[in-house]
Structure 1
Amino acid sequence: MDEIKFGDILLPGDEDTQERQEKTVRARFWPTMRKAIRQLPLGRDVVAAYYCATDRQTPLRVRGILLAALGYFVLPFDTVPDVLALVGFTDDIAVLTTAFALINSHIRERHYEAADRALADEPGVAAR
């Protein structure tokens, strides 16, 4: 497999690419989040990023970066398999942290409020 560079993963892509990534993220986000929530130190931020990425008021480039990072998070095959306890999500965390650093000012309070509601619904995480 070719070496994956985080910068390449976070390219926002064109609108067709973003549309495909959004469909993938919407379909796989909650099942992946349910598995990761106990191991992922950025759980609330990841859920807020999901709401930011699916918010049509978020600028297109920011949505693209977040959808790319969240797409990497939900893909079953990545650099470090997620099934490995504790280390499985380290590459996902690195990608997400990089994405957050690039777009942090665009994740609004309403996205965190939606994340809080989703995380409070049940111990695992409620799908929306």
Structure 2
Amino acid sequence: MSESAEFGQRFTPEEMEAIRRSLRDEKRFGAELMALLKRVGKRVPFAGDLLAAWYCARDPATPRAVRMTLLAALGYFVLPVDAIPDLVPLFGFTDDAAVIAAAITAVASSITPEHHERARETLDGL
């Protein structure tokens, strides 16, 4: 079985629809991201990168392909569908960190110092 076929079989049709619905409703998605960061932000060392990615994805100057890459990675973090459940001590966020790191690496030139500054300000307020 190919890796892509294996990956595609991990999600049920209902889960895929939940992912699509969540990403279509950007306002709700942002609220879910912020609520999750309020709960776990202090324990997630890549919270600043998550927020910088969010602000980049919301920036009208960001190219569509970059937005989609970042929103997909953020969706993986926010949605309960996960390779390693986030409740597993020490390991729960490792898969999320890998997905976020890969997405940010792929689009790093689009994430500006302004996006990072807004992320720092938001984290300070959590």
- Which amino acid in structure 2 is aligned with residue 74 of structure 1? V
2:48 corresponds to 1:44: yes
Partner Cα distance (1:88, 1:118) in 2: 24
Measured on the aligned residues, the alpha-carbon RMSD in Å equals 2.3
Structure 2: gaps (5+ residues): 9-19
Report the structure, 1 or 2, having the larger helix content: 2
Structure 1: gaps (5+ residues): 6-15
Would the alpha carbon gap of residues 75 and 19 (structure 1) be closer, same or farther in structure 2, given more than 3 Å must change?
Answer: closer
Return the offset for 1:97: 0.6
Would the alpha carbon gap of residues 106 and 73 (structure 1) be closer, same or farther in structure 2, given more than 3 Å must change?
Answer: same
Partner Cα distance (1:106, 1:39) in 2: 26
Contact 1:48 1:112 in 2 (8 A): yes
| Number of positions where the alignment pairs a residue of Structure 1 with one of Structure 2 | 111
- Which amino acid in structure 2 is aligned with residue 68 of structure 1? A
Partner Cα distance (1:57, 1:25) in 2: 20
Return the offset for 1:22: 3.2
Task: Please name the residue that 1:55 is paired with.
Answer: 59
Runs of 4+ residues over 4 Å off in structure 1: 16-19
Which digits, 9 at most, give the CA deviation of each residue in 1:19-48, with x for residues without a partner? 616355313101121233233221211111
Moved more, 85-94 or 20-29: 20-29
1:4 is aligned, of 7, 10, 16, to: 7
2:107 corresponds to 1:103: yes
Task: Please name the residue that 2:116 is paired with.
Answer: 112
Which digits, 9 at most, give the CA deviation of each residue in 1:37-74, with x for residues without a partner? 23322121111111111111111100000000001110
